[in-house]
Structures are given as structure tokens and as C-alpha cells.
Structure 1
Amino acid sequence: MLRHRWAQIIVSLLVTAAAYHLYAVLAVPLIEPQPDLHGSSQRSVDFPADQRLQQRLQALSAFFPGRSQLIKNAKMLEIDQTTLLFQDYWNLGEGRVLVRPCLLVFDSRTSASPKWPSNLPEILILEALDGAIFQFDRPLDLRTARIGRFIAGQLLGNVVVRGENPTQDHPDFRLTTRDITVTEHRVWTNHPLELSWGKHRARGAGMEIVFRGRTPFSRGGFEQEPLNIDRFLLRHVDRLHIDLETVRSSDKPQAKGAMDSPSPPSRDEALDISCQGPLLFVPAQKTLTLEDRVEISRTQNSQSVLQLRCQQLVVTFQEAGPSNSTSAPPAETPASPDPSSVKKPIPGSSRWSIHLVRAIGRPVRIVFPTWNGELQGEDLRYDAASGAMSLGGSNGVQGKRGKDQFSALAVQCQLTSAGDIEMLAAVGPGKAQFTPTNSSQEWILTWGRSLTFTTGSNERVAALQGGVQIEAGDLGTLNAQEIWCWADAGLRATDFASLRLRRFVAQSAVELTSSQFAAQSDRLEAWIKWDNALPTQTSRASHGIRPQAVEQSAGKDDSSALMTNTGQIALRANLLRMEFAAYPGQAAELTALSADGSVVADERPQQADLHPLQLRGDHLEVTHPTRPSTIFSLTGNPAYVAGRGLALTGYQIFLDRGRNLLSVAGVGRLDIEKSAEQMIPVSAEDRVAIQWNQGMDFAGRTISFHGGVQLTSGPRRLQADALGIELEEPVILSSLSSFKGHQVRLARAIGNVYVENLELDPSGNLVARDMLRVSEISVDFLSGRVSAPGPGRFGTVRQASSLTGIFSADGVTRPVTQGQPDQGREDNSQENPSPKTNPDQDTGSPQANPPNQRLVMLDISFHQRLEGNIQQRQVGCYGRVKARYGGVTTWSAQSLPDDPALLGPDGMVLNCQELTAFQIFGPGEQRPHLELVALGNVTVEAQFHAARARRLSLDESKTLLVLEGDGDVPAELYRQEFLGGPIQKTTARRIYFWYSTKTVKVDDAKSLEISRSPTVPLGG
């Protein structure tokens, strides 16, 4: 990983050039005289006196252990801080001189120059024991102490440059090579060289230094101007080892009192560089180039943490600017040396720092051994000033970490001064394949335009744009045009694999698909809550939740979850929100889901015969959708839920499966298809619909409907202020897959109850219409018992049948005369065609009979109660019962008048205390026939007949009417052939009247009277 302070690391690549810079600094003052201020081309040499010579040689012998004899007999030349030692020299002619051996001692402590590098040893020694050959423009003559202008030279044999008296500020320095050739503008050797500088190491071969313009070899002095190098070349670099900890410490100024404070522990961090080609440094361009199989390795504690391999590496430097330190100089102490000998800072001096780094290759390979990962491209660029780095190429960028893989067109990143990633961008199209730490399945991530990754203090943000797709194994697939993710560093902030996703947002053409779920929306927002402690079975059981594994081991299926394995749920909405609970080492659990804006959900069942689940609404909220304790809320205008043979409509639908509650606020409707026919005892082909105005509540065993309740089931309809239904067995919503098999035990309607039933023949023609009006009614479907308190009214409209003509003179049924008062009748005069009825249509307005069809109506009112049994097909009315009978012209007739004179010639009015009706199937009958029994002061009034008895019975199958008296009061029958004609009175204990044949039979006759009275004397 590149860091901003790597300037000193790369500069250390130039340590070899610095060594030869040192050679020029030491050799030039000796070989070429320094011009004086008056422009002289000659320079004098200081030859010390004999006594002083012996003292200096003795002092210098300490720098050459084991060579004291050589130093004792050596000749010495001193020019400022440079001392040349040799035993002899030979003038080879043409200005060439051989010096053997050649020993140079440079002591920067005796120099007043401020330009000596502070991190080089204060004493440098050059040893060329085989000697040196120098060439000048005139012969060398030491007797005159005059030296000509330097032309060329060669250091023979092994050449060693080393430092003496190393300290912490001036570490040990040693450079070894052989046969160095020097000209006015060039220094080179073709031999290997080795360098050690403190903890730094270098080894290579083929060094060349080229000087620019007038060099120190032609100017005559290091004191006047520093060395000016045009380029430095090392043709082969075996190894360049740079100790990074040493570089960092040299960059940091030592604070006052730091010598007394303990130093931090060393991290043993280093950089190793090698290449098969040349290393070229051009100071004028501030560029350093390494070519041909360049390899760079960064190590920590002897372990490689980063490797870079390329064909060419180019480093560009820049000046960091002059040093403007304002810190006060240290105070002088009594032990301080002469202030003139203290080194002073150089005003306006500058330091170089890395500006740009570029690596080129096919490929450029970056390896992370500790991560088991690598990154490949063709062009790597790094701007140290801004911290921007990019990697690209014609073949894009590829990366891998273990089995994880990554590819993109190009990668760009922003690094901090500490080398940490601040921003990472991958230009698409790109693809990533990886396995999350909490999953065993591979994820595949693709994007079309870009992937951007940024870091905060403890937050990581990723943005993907352009045809983004995330394939998460069994969890499903997410598609969107844009996805943003927020994560934190988790428990190990330095480990990328431990990043924990906190939130993600997907936008534009969002599609989420899994085996159980398929969603489409314009925007998806999700939150993930991490919990290090795994949920225990005890904690879940305390909330009514059992882990799925426990349920399956107990033989339970997934039907307890809202998202079951019966099919896939397809959801569409403008906005989706999800919340997940995540635990280490486990897949995340969906804990909450909400949808807003045109919510549409459809189940795609695996079973063809299973009614699919459908949802419609404006807002949907689901808590714990994968658990039995699901809480479900759907609102809309209106909201709609259908499935498993049921359809529920309302403005707000609420379901709490943990508490087994279901409710609908306000107006609503429930439709029950034939697959749930056992919920209400209707035909399997019928459809039940229940509507209400003030809400519905379901509590497992009971269902309550409030306000303007209306129930329709094919040809049946019920209206009431409230309706309550009690089931034989409770419905457990937490384990519900279908309503089938749950039978109604009791139903109770309260307040303005109206019941209507239409009877159809097999062809769908209407043959009868029954009506009941009571204040309350209860039905026990187990026993079949029906009860209702009085007062109430029951009516039936039927086709004219064998009942017709019971009391008519000619046996022809005639409707009530038009224009006469008809209390309670609805639209007597309208005749509507179409006798057939569709069960799915509203049955509130029955069709009128065709003109050739005669209709009759039986209208019964009672005051005390109504009791019956639907299983036994009987119903009884009690307390001041009045039954009216007459012809009508429309199926929608609601009542008949009480006056027999208004009921027509075939009408009648029956009064009694009890009236019971039976529907009985006789032998060979396809339709049940009707039997009636009236008790208690029974009276019958008609235009031409009248009767009085204690008991009256009628058998429709035998067309028989029986009147019975008791021991005290006989039965009486009054007959009149025509209006105003004589009245025939028959009195007997029992009277049999077959109304189809007009045959009368009596038992125990009492009397037979014929009267001329124009009216039937029922009151007499």
C-alpha cells in the first residue's frame, strides 16, 4: 500500500548515487584546485609539517584497523575537510598519474558547509587499495603544489566507501564495488555493487552517473555548489531493502525531552525492491524508473503483506518547499562547543516527496498475502499529493481473494495520508463473486456503470449504479438501476470480511426475487439489526415463537409462516421497506416488511387447485412474516385480500396471528367461495358474501360483523344491524393453510333482521321467494334449531300450485284487484321478464313473473316468537298469528292486506295462536310438499268461505284441509257459491275438505244449515 511519506523510501533507491556523489565531493577538492575569488585556475595544496604529519597520521590510523603500518608510511594531502593518504604515486605521462593505495577520509565535522546530508555518517572513508589513475590537462607536480584540470580517472580493484563512528542519527554506511571509471561528466562501473546504510540494503550491478552542465569536476569545489546529476542508472537491481521504520523516524523531528522518554516498540516493517532491467533516476525530470520484471514487497515482522509486480515502475518527485521552521534553537550550555561549529539550518532548503507513481505491465499484479488476495490490471497510477490511485487496462481489472473474484473495467481509489482507503470506485461493467462470512453460498454482484465505496470514521458506504444485480444464493436476486449500502467495520475494523451491513437502498426498476418472494417497486429500503447473541428457544417461546427447526422436527410444515412453501408471493408497490435481524454465522431473518403506493400482491401457487392469495391496497405492514406470530396490516381505498376461497375487503385490515385476531375497521366485505362452503351451510356451488358498515372482528372461534350487515349466498340474503358467528372449532391463524373443514356452530343476527330466500328449479327459474322480518334470530347449525323473538313477519311468494283454489269458487287463482289498497306491497303493477337468476348477481330485486305465470303469496305475522329446525324443515310461529293468502303480480311483493275483501276471490286471512309449517318429502317426490298446522281459536275468512276450529291442518300432497273441534266446540265450515247467494254451514267434530275435488267429509256431524244471509257469520 502506497503512502504519502514513501518519498524517503523511494529516495533510498538513490543511495548508490549518493555514494558516488560522496566520491565526487571527496575527490574533486584533491584532484582539481578550487578557483579563488579572483578567478585563478590554480590551487595550492597544504602539506603538513613533519610533527603535525605524524600527529595526523596517528589520529587517522584509528579509522584503518590492521593497516597501521601502511598509514605510518603514507603521504598525506589535506584540502579543507578531505584528507588523501597514499604511499606513492607514479607519473604515467600525458597528465596521467597512478596513486597507490588511494585512501580518502572526509570529516564533515571540520567543515563550515551546511550542505552535508544530515543522515550520512559524519566521517566517510573511501578505500581503493589497488590505487587510482587520474588524468589532468598537465603533468602532476607535487613539489610545486600545483594541480591541473581533471580530465578522467579510474578507481582500481575493489572500492569500499564506509562510515565511521556510527550513531543513531548517523547509522552505519558501507558501499562496495570495483573498477569505477570517472570522467568530467560521467562515473560508471559494470561490476556488481552492494550497499548497507543502517538497516537499508542494496545489491545490483552496472552503475552509471551522468552529470549535467558544468559539474563539480570542472568547477573545483563542493563548497561552491552541490553536485548536479543529470541521470543515475543501475542496469540491474538484485535487491533493494528499505527499512520503513527508519524512514519514518528520520521524517519526524525529535521533540524536546524525547531522549528521556521510552521509545515505542519497533514494528520491523520493510520494503524490498528488485528488477531485471535498469533503475534510472533523472533529477531534472524528478523521475525514477525501474523496468523489466519489477517486484516490490512490503513486509511486517518478516511476513509479506503487500507485493507489486509490473514491467515498468515510474516514480515522479516534487519539491516539498522550503523549510520555514520557526522553532527556537536549543539553548547553549556550558558544555556546548563553539557556536561557530554548530550546524545551522539551510535557509530556503527543500526536500523531495513523491508526486506520482505509475506501474505498467501485462499485467500489473498487486498481491495481498495476508488476505490471500490479488489485483491485476495493466496501468496503475498513484498521485501521492492527492492520494488518488487508479488501475485499468485494455483487459480491465481482475481481482481475487481465495475463491472470491472481482472484475471491472477500471478501479479508482482515494487513500488517506496513513494509507487507508477513503474512497474506491470500480468503473463498470463489473462483477464480483464472494461468499459472505455468515453464509456458505456464493453471492454474485454485477453492475453496469460504477461501484463506489467510501469510508467514514466507522462507517462504510457503497454505491452501485447501472443495471445492478445481486444474486444471493437461496436468499434470492435483487435487481435495480441504483443501490446504496451502509455498513460498519464490525468486530474487526481492519478486516474487510467482517463488514456488517446496516442499511441498503435500491432505486429505479427494483426487482427482488426468491423462492418464496418476488417484489417489484420504484424504491426499496432495508435495515439490518445485528445481534451477537443468538436467539434461544426459550426466548422465542416466551413470545409464542418456536424455531423453525424445532417445528419441522415435531412434524410441522411451513404453513405457520405468512410466506409458505405453497407458492411464491409476487408483490408490487411504489415503495418497499424491510427490516432484518442478523446473527453471526446465520442467514438474516426478515422481521418487518412495509409497502406503500398501489400495493399489489399475488401468490403463485404450486398446486393448481389451490386458490391463490391476492392483496390490493395503498399501504401494507407485516411484522415477522416468517413466524407464526405475524402481525399484518393492510389499508386502502379500499384494501382487498383474497385467497383460499375467501376474499376480504375493507379500508383497514388487521391480522395478529400470535394473538389469533383478525379485524376490519369501518366498511368491509367478506366473500366466501365454494372451497370454504363449510364455513356457512350453503350449497357447494353457492358464493357467500357478507357486507358491513362498522367493522368486523375475528377472535379464533367467534366472528362479529357490525352495522348494516348484509349476507348473500346465491339466492339467499340476510340483513341485520349486527351478525355474530360462532365456530364449532377455533380457527388457529398461526397454522392456517385453508378455511376448509371449519364448521359454523351458531349464527345470530340482531336488529332489523331481514331474511330472504329465492328457490330455483334445476333450470334456474324462480319458483318461490321467502321473506322473514324479525328483530333478532339465532341458528344452531349443529342441531338445526332456529329461534327468533316476536313480533315478526314471514312471507312467501310462489307459483300457483295445488294450494290454489282452496277457498275459491271456481278453482282459478286471481291476483288482488289492481287499484285496491295493498298495504306493504312493493310495485304490484310492475311485471319484469327473465325468470332466471344468476347466483352471483344481487338478489335484492327478484324478477316479476311472466304474464302466463300465476303467483300467490302467503304472509304470516306473529307476536310472541318463531321457532323451527332447518334440519327437520319445520318452522313455527306463536302468539296472535295471522296468515294472509292471495294472488300477486310480482315476485317483489312484500306483504298482503288484513281485509279479506281486498285479497280477491281466492284470498283468505287465517288467525290462530300457533302456526307450524313442515316441508316433507313424500315417496317419489322430487320437491318437498307443504304441511301446515294451526292451533288455538283458528278462524279463516275469505270472500266465499269461512271456517272456525280448534285445530286446522293442511296436506299439500293430498290437497286435504282438515278442521277439528273439541268436545265442547265443534268445527264450523261456511260456504257460499256466489256473492249474495245462500250460505251453507257445516258443523262437526272433524271436517275433511279435499279442495282439488271440492269434496267434503265430516266426522260426528252436528248440523247442516243453509242461510240467505249475504255475509258469512264468523262472529256468530
Structure 2
Amino acid sequence: MEHRLGRTVRVFLVVLAAAGFHRLTVVPLVEPRVRDASAALEMSPEEAAAIRARADRRLAALGDVFPPGAWERDDPIMLESRQMRLLFKDYHSLPDGRVNLVPCTLVVLPDRNRVAVDGQAGRTIVLRAPQGAVLEFDEPLDLRAGRLAKLIGGSLRGQVTIRGTASAPGAEDDIEIVTRDVELDELEVRTGEMVQFRHGRSSGSGRGLAARLRPRAGPAGRGPNIGGVDVIRLDRDVSMRLEGLAGGLVPGGGAEPAPAGAGTDAAAPPVLVSCRGSMCLNVSASVITLEDHVDVVRATAGGATDQLSCDLLAILLGRRDKPAVPGEPAAVGRGGLQPVEIQAKGTPVVARSSGAELEARAARLGYEIATRRILLDGEEPVSLVARGSEMEARKIDYCPGPPGDPGSLMAVGPGWLRVRSEKSPPAQARWQQWLRMRPDGDGHVVSISGDADVSIETQGRLAAAEMHLWLDVVEPVPGALPARPAHGPDLSRVRPARLLARGMVEADAEQVAARTDRLELWFRQREPAPAPQAVAAAPAPA
């Protein structure tokens, strides 16, 4: 009996010792957050006062990030890392190691490594959650030292506002996003709620936000590893109002002249963009992509409308030019990003401009806003209708010239061109290989290859393997109104100078018919008859 009792006592002592060893060694390693977080958050009144005094000094260094009267200016607690500031008023730790902060504001400072490379001041991002946040860090918060640990994740309750300062002094590209109930990961911000956003003077809305953050350049070090925003995505039901686009966003934009005395950007009507699918802003690549029933509309003050409809639209962004003269103010939004090119896909893409009398149809459309260059291609024939001309081919690449200049054109594949003019009869050209128009000296030359066939109403027809027509550009009539920028071939000021046709040439005119291997023609323009001069009547005899 004693032997059994002694053995039982020894077993009990061994178990008790093992439990004590586990409590002293294993438990602190496995579950350190609750105990350490509670200890780290417990402070004396003197320590709390010192922390708030330090927060006041750090807050002053942030400048005007917070508006007057904001709670962040009223004695907050602040924790900091090299690039992030965490501000809050009240706090307590949760059993799972997370921390409940009410209210809560996160400030992400510009990445100093990128600022040194780009030479820009950089953007400061402020994320505000007045109803509080529950956050998780890789180690307990140390309020005494004011040091911020690495953010693992968390959630922001109620209304959440995300603001970003301008990317450079004077650049009107500040950002504001308003939504609700945001979830945080180390490098991602997301919500399924409605989102209102503003970028500079432009604004919009959508549903479902996911923002991917960019890791900081260089070694990770302590604290959050955030170098800025990489991608912002809205899931569906996106609408935007884009301001300050003087040249528009689609072919034909800018055809209506701005009111006299108005600034270029200030007078530009807004561009309305909407889609049923997602919108993705790739900050690193400077590209905005919209999907599913994309519509772009701009109505000018004169009643003209520019419109683009497609299935997928990519807007390429570039920086505005700086002032050429030091100290001279640039256009509104200087230094910020603006659209420089669009790429659209659809079945088909349709672009219309009533002001420019233009319509383009293609499976793929590219448009360079500054040069007004249009590129159309796809598996099916594409078409371009401009003021006074209509064209169809497999691929069309057209770049307008200055006002009154026909520009440059390349149309590949079997196609045709119809031209109408007030001063000339209608003309039509057909080809199997290509039609090309390009500058040549002071004029232009138009070349057609592959069963070239040209007919002019009431004048005759000319066919050959290839044709080359040299055109002279005449000076505008003195006192005439200045020509508007063209978005299609402008033939109003060109006159034929010389024609060369080669290979199985057939000419059929009203008074002549011929077949030859080579035909050359020179054109002589009739000088307009001088206007009759009025003769003063002799005074009647008295």
C-alpha cells in the first residue's frame, strides 16, 4: 500500500514539475502577445504625458496634413516607424493579441528612396477611421518608446477616408477616397462597399475597392514595409467625371474652339466615363483600364458630342510639360498626370464626333491625344469617315497635319476611298495592296498599289498596277477664316500637280481612251478671273 502511495506521489510531483517548466518556458514563446501587449500598454500618468508631448512634436513635423479642429491635433497618442505614423486616443488589447484603437489614423510618408531617385516631393497618404480600428502587429506595441511594429492586418470600422497629398508642389493631383468597413493586410487594402473618389479636379464612384501597396525599396528594417500605392481597382459600376482635358479623350475631341479669353483647361468641358465592369489604375505603369460596356462621352458648349463605345479601354498617362520659362505659371494641374494615349478593343469599337464629322469603326483603336494620330486594325475591315471623305481597309494609320494640311495616311489591304468636295466632283479610289499619303517637299504625294483604280464623276476613270499623285498645298485666301484642326484627311487646300501611272495603264475619259505601260500627266491650274473693279460715276452736270 505504501509502495503504491509513494509511486503516486512521485508521479504527481513529476507532472507538477513538468507543468511548471511548461508555464515558465514554453507558454511565453507560444503565447507572448497577450501578456506582453498588456504590459506594454500599461503606463503611469507621467509616461502617458511624456508620450503625448512627443506626439505633439512629431505631429508638428507632419505640417498641414490634418485640417484645423481635427481630433489628431488634440493631444493624440502617436507611434511611429521610419515611414508610418499611427495616431489614436483610446486603446485596449484583445485576447488574441490584436489592439482596438478608437479613433484611428494611419499616415504613410513618401518613400525616401524613391524621392531621392525621382526628385519629387512624394505623396503622403492619410487613412482615417473615426469609429476606430482593430489592428494586428508582428510584436506588441511599445507606447513608452513610441515605436511602431510591423502591421500584419486589421479592419477599419464605419466610414473610412483615404487622402493623398499632391505628388509635387503645385501639382493638382491630390487624392481622396471615401468608403466604409475596410480590411487591411500587410500590402493590401480592400472593401466591398460603395466608393467615392476624387483625383485633382476629377471625381467618380464605384463598388468594391482593392488597393495593392508597393514594398519599400531597400532593406526592410523595422516597422511597416510600405513604399507607396501600386494598383487601385474598383470591381464594378464605375463612373468618372474627368476635368481639364483640353484635347478630349477620343478622336474628334477638341474640334470645337474654346470661348475667347478662357484658359485652355478651364474651358474644356468634362469627359464622362462609365463601365459595368472593373476599373484598374496601375500607378507604377501609369495606366487606367476599364472593362465591360465602356462609354466615353463629352458634350461641348456648342452642342457637339464626342463619344467612344468599346469592351476594353486602356488610358495611358504621362506627366504634363513644365513651364519653359522659370517662374512662369504652367497650365492648371502642372506636374500631374494626364491622358496621352488610349487603346480600345471591341466588337467593334465605335468612335464618333459630331463636331469633327468623324466616325471610326474597328476591332482595335489607338489614339494619340497630342498628335491626334488614329490607328485602326482588326481581323475584319475597318472604316474611317471624316469631313468630306470615307475609307475602308484592313488597317488604317492616319496622323493629321496642321490646319489645312492633309497629313499622313497609310491604309493597308484591299480597300477603297471616297472623297467629296464643294469645288470638285466626287472621286473614288480602290486598291488591293495599300494606299499611302505622305509629305514630299512643300507638298504631298499619294501612292496607290495593287490594281489601283481611280474614278472621278463626270470626268472618267484611270486604272493601273500603281499610281502616284503629287499634290501642292496652296496658301489660304487672304481674309478667310482660319482652318480648324482636322481629324481626317483635309483636302480643301490641295491641288493636283503631277500624276504617274505604271503597269497595265487604262485611261477612259470623255474625249480620250488609252492603254499603255506608263502614263504621266501634269496639271495646270486656272488662275481665277480678277474681280471687276467698280468705276466711279462722273458727277452730273450742274
TM-score (normalizing by structure 2)? 0.64
Q: Which residue of 2 aligns with 1:362?
A: 347
Tell me the distance in 1 between the aligned counterparts of 2:423 and 2:452.
22
Q: Quick check: 2:474–2:495 contact (8 Å CA) kept in 1?
A: no
Distance, in Å, in 1 between the alignment partners of 2:96 and 2:463 is 85
Task: Measure, in 2, the Cα distance between the counterparts of 1:54 and 1:150.
Answer: 23
- The alpha carbon displacement at 1:62 in A equals 7.2
User: What secondary structure does 1:524 align onto?
Assistant: strand
| Aligned-partner Cα distance in 2 for 1:493–1:458 | 21
Is residue 513 of structure 1 aligned with residue 514 of structure 2?
Answer: no
The one-letter code sitting in structure 1 at the alignment partner of 2:519 is: R
Q: Does 1:94 align with 2:88?
A: no
Structure 2 match to 1:159: 160
Contact 1:199 1:246 in 2 (8 A): no
Q: Structure 1 residues 501 and 167 mapped into 2: Cα distance closer, same or farther (>3 Å)?
A: same
CA–CA distance in 1 between the matches of 2:341 and 2:171? 29
Structure 1: runs of 5 or more not aligned = 1-44, 248-262, 320-328, 331-350, 539-1020
**Counterpart of 2:196?**
194
Post-superposition Cα deviations, 1:717-775, rounded to whole Å, max 9, x if no partner, equal xxxxxxxxxxxxxxxxxxxxxxxxxxxxxxxxxxxxxxxxxxxxxxxxxxxxxxxxxxx
The SS at the match of 1:93 is coil
Q: Distance in 1 between matches of 2:485 and 2:457?
A: 27
1:208 corresponds to which residue? 210
Q: Which amino acid aligns with 1:360?
A: K
User: Which residue does the alignment assign to 2:39?
Assistant: none
State the Cα distance separating 1:364 from its structure 2 match.
1.9
**1:698-713 to 2 correspondences below 5 Å:** none
What is the one-letter code of the residue matched to 1:142? L
Matched residue SS, 1:469: strand
Distance 1:98 1:193 in 2: 25
Instruction: Give the Cα separation in 2 of the matches to 1:293 and 1:94.
Output: 46
Does the CA-based 8 Å contact 1:47-1:76 persist in structure 2? no
> 2:219 matched to 1:234?
no
**Cα separation, 2, equivalents of 1:430 and 1:144:** 75
Query: In the TM superposition, what whole-angstrom CA distance separates every residue of 1:787-831 from its partner, at most 9, and x where no partner exists?
Result: xxxxxxxxxxxxxxxxxxxxxxxxxxxxxxxxxxxxxxxxxxxxx
| SS of residue matched to 1:396 | strand
Cα deviation, residue 160, structure 1 = 1.9
Q: Which residue of 2 aligns with 1:375?
A: 360
Give the equivalent residue in structure 2 for 1:618.
Answer: none
Measure the CA separation in 2 of the matches of 1:276 and 1:308.
Answer: 15
Say if 1:357 and 1:206 are closer, same or farther in 2 by CA, change over 3 A.
same
User: What is the alpha-carbon distance in structure 2 between the residues aligned to residue 72 and residue 400 of structure 1?
Assistant: 63
Conservation of the 8 A alpha-carbon contact between 2:137 and 2:151: yes
1:513 partner letter:
D
Q: In the alignment, which residue of structure 2 is the partner of 1:525? A: 521
CA gap 1:383/1:375 in 2 versus in 1, 3 angstroms: closer
Q: Secondary structure at the match of 1:474?
A: coil
Q: How does 1:216-227 map to 2 (within 5 A)?
A: 220=222, 226-227=227-228
1:645-660 paired onto structure 2 within 5 Å: none
Report the CA distance between 1:449 and its aligned residue.
1.7
State how far apart, in whole Å, the 2-side matches of 1:201 and 1:221 are.
33
AA of the residue aligned to 1:498: S
Contact 1:413 1:421 in 2 (8 A): no
Query: 2:185 aligns to what?
Result: 183
Deviation at 1:523, TM superposition (A): 0.5
The AA in structure 1 aligned to 2:293 is: R
Matches within 5 A, 1:856-871: none
User: Quick one: which amino acid aligns to residue 100 of structure 1?
Assistant: V
CA distance in 2, matches of 1:388, 1:168: 30
Structure 2 Cα separation of the partners of residues 58 and 211 of structure 1: 26
Q: Are residue 502 (structure 1) and residue 504 (structure 2) matched?
A: no
1:487–1:395: structure 2 CA closer, same or farther, 3 Å change rule? farther
1:888-934 residue CA offsets vs partner (Å, 9 max, x unmatched):
xxxxxxxxxxxxxxxxxxxxxxxxxxxxxxxxxxxxxxxxxxxxxxx
Distance 1:219 1:194, change over 3 A: farther
Give me the whole-angstrom Cα distance separating, in 1, the residues matched to 2:307 and 2:174.
28
The Cα RMSD (Å) is 5.2
SS in structure 2 of the partner of residue 525 of structure 1: strand
Question: AA paired with 1:450?
Answer: W
1:527 positional shift? 1.7
State the secondary structure of the residue aligned to 1:438.
Answer: coil
Instruction: Note the alpha carbon deviations across 1:498-527, whole angstroms, 9 max, x for none.
Output: 132232414133333344443444313132
Count of paired positions:
445
What is the one-letter code of the residue matched to 1:505? L
Q: Distance in 2 between matches of 1:480 and 1:172?
A: 60
Deviation larger for 427-436 or 407-416: 407-416
In structure 1, give the amino acid aligned to 2:420.
T
- Aligned with residue 384 of structure 2, among 373, 388, 399: 399
Q: With structure 1 as the length reference, what TM-score do the two structures score?
A: 0.37
Distance in 2 (alpha carbons) for counterparts of 1:99 and 1:489:
75
- Measured after TM superposition, the shift of residue 371 of structure 1 is 1.8
Paired residues for 1:57-456 under 5 Å:
67=69, 71-72=73-74, 74-79=76-81, 82-104=84-106, 114=116, 118=120, 125-137=126-138, 140=141, 142=143, 149-162=150-163, 168-169=170-171, 172-210=174-212, 220=222, 226-227=227-228, 229=230, 232-236=232-236, 237-239=238-240, 241=242, 243-244=244-245, 265-267=263-265, 268-269=267-268, 273-280=273-280, 289-296=289-296, 307-314=307-314, 358-380=343-365, 390-401=375-386, 404-413=389-398, 423-439=408-424, 441-455=425-439
**Alpha-carbon spacing, 1:160–1:412, altered in 2? closer, same or farther (3 Å):** same
CA shift, 1:462, in A, is 1.4
In the alignment, is the contact (CA less than 8 A) between 1:205 and 1:235 conserved in 2? yes
Deviation at 1:536, TM superposition (A): 6.2
- Cα separation, 2, equivalents of 1:478 and 1:108: 67
Partner SS state of residue 311, structure 1: strand
Letter in 1 for 2:190: W
SS at structure 2 position matched to 1:114 = helix
- Residue-by-residue CA offset, 1:621-650 (whole Å, 9 max, x unaligned): xxxxxxxxxxxxxxxxxxxxxxxxxxxxxx
Q: 1:78 to 1:227 in 2, by over 3 A?
A: closer
Asked if the contact 1:374/1:400 (under 8 Å) is kept, the reply is yes
CA-to-partner distance for each residue in 1:87-117, whole Å, 9 max, x for gaps?
A: 2123232122221212345676999963688
Structure 1: how far apart are the matches of 2:271 and 2:472? 33
Please tell me the residue identity of whatever aligns with 2:93: N
Q: Structure 1 residues 85, 273: closer, same or farther in 2, change over 3 A? A: same
- State whether residues 184 and 217 of structure 1, in contact with CA within 8 Å, keep that contact through their aligned partners in structure 2: no
Deviation, 1:399, is 2.4
